[in-house]
Amino acid sequence: MNKTCQFLLYMLLLVFELQAQTKNHFVLDGTINTDSGKIILIPVGNASYYENPKVFQEANVVKGKFIFKGDIKYPTAFIIGLKINSEWKYISRFFIVDPVMQNIECNIDSLGETPKLLNNSMKELADYRNNRLLKNAKANLYLYDYIKLKPNSYIALWNLVYEFDYMYAPILDSINASLSNNLKENFTAKVLESKLKVAKHTSIGGSFPNLFLANSKGRYFSIISTNRPKKYLFIDFWFSHCTPCISQFEKLKDLFNKTNSEHLMMIGISVDTKANKDAWLKAINKYQLPWQQYWDIDGKEAYKLNINSYPTNFLLDSNGTIIAKNITPMQLEEFLMPK
């Protein structure tokens, strides 16, 4: 083989190697109208939908510039945020990053904006959002029609993730079923499908699963077997530093004291971390919570149930069937003591 052929072969192999390295690689070359701060890539839904956790990065803003680099196998949704002196100053609407080099422009004065980002996926996302506004359609109904036309759409997939994270509804199962078989094979779609199956069983009409949780001494209990109400069981997921959770305690205590234990049983489930065990126990004592308390250490059971916000509660009948979800203490009182 002469030197010319060797050189050509070398260059060809180099091109193939570079293509392999950049095929799943993205670059976000960004600008934002502030001189400093910390810019952060945030997941849509939660990080479990992303095969590569290293894509969630933080970067310092230097004279209005920042850059993110990472590996993704297909168009992927992100939110972007800015902190200055530990305070959030900017949170975007979700956008789609393609596995290519692209520029992104953020405006700190426009909370909830879609950043300016030019790639093929963003063109489709813009059309999707504009057409939905023109039709004045509800998100789930529009997405249901859209996926019928474009079953291979990553825009549809990420909007499905977003809608599911906001609230489960049975129509989401139908939308998911309409995704193409090819799209269902990617990591995000597989995670979503498993979460939808769980959500179906923890929605109204489903049977609440039997969780195994610890008490303050570290002993584990099967909560449904241990707490069998004659009529209703109220289950409240909370944690010690959750202000909205704590704000409900006085009304729940009042309701607990008004009702007969045979009519209503209540249990609290803390998702505090191991490091916050003392904070959990102190909160129980500080607010004098009279109902049974359990500890879901590090929120592992809550994670399996797709509980992403707190407080989250369930009202069960005597058969363990969910008859209400995420109701306020006032709504619970009206249900139990109709006027």
The DSSP output letter for 51 is S
Task: Say if residue 150's pLDDT is above 50.
Answer: yes
Helices then strands, counting H and E runs in the chain, come out as 13, 16
User: Which tens digits make up the pLDDT trace of 305-328?
Assistant: 888 789 999 999 988 899 999 999
The answer to whether 29 and 56 are in contact (CB under 8 A) is no
On whether the CB atoms of residues 258 and 290 are closer than 8 A, the answer is no
Does 45 or 109 have the greater pLDDT score? 109
pLDDT, the chain, mean: 89
Q: Where are the domains of the chain?
A: 18-116, 121-201, 212-336
Percent of the chain having pLDDT more than 90?
Answer: 71
If one compares 116 and 212, the residue with the highest pLDDT of the two is: 116
Tell me the two tokens of residue 235: 């289950």
pLDDT score recorded for residue 11: 47
| pLDDT tops 70 at residue 59 | yes
Which sign does the torsion angle of CA 239, 245, 247, 249 carry?
negative
Mean per-residue pLDDT, 141-169: 94
Architecture of the domain made up of 212-336: 3-Layer(aba) Sandwich (3.40)
Q: Please identify which residue in the block is written with the tokens 């405006």.
A: 107
Residues paired with residue 292 on neighbouring β-strands, in sequence order: 267
pLDDT, tens digit, 9 for 90 and up, residues 2-23: 555 555 544 444 443 444 444 6
Residue 65: strand pairing partners: 31, 62
Better-predicted residue by pLDDT, 166 or 80: 80
In this predicted model, what pLDDT tens digit does every residue of 261-308 receive, in sequence order? 778 899 999 999 999 999 999 999 999 999 999 999 999 999 888 887
| Lowest mean per-residue pLDDT among 26-30, 137-141, 209-213 | 209-213
End-to-end CA distance of the chain: 95
CB 250 within 8 A of CB 327: no
What pLDDT is recorded for position 322?
A: 93
Residue 122, CA distances (Å) to 95, 96, 288 in order: 7, 6, 52
Asked if residue 206 has pLDDT above 50, the reply is yes
Which numeric CATH code is attached to 18-116?
2.60.40.1120
Comparison of pLDDT for 305 and 230, the residue scoring more: 305
Phi, psi for 108 (deg, rounded to 5): -60, -20
Confidence (pTM): 0.73
DSSP state of 106: E
Residue 213 has pLDDT above 80, yes or no: yes
pLDDT band at 251 (very low <50, low <70, confident <90, very high): very high
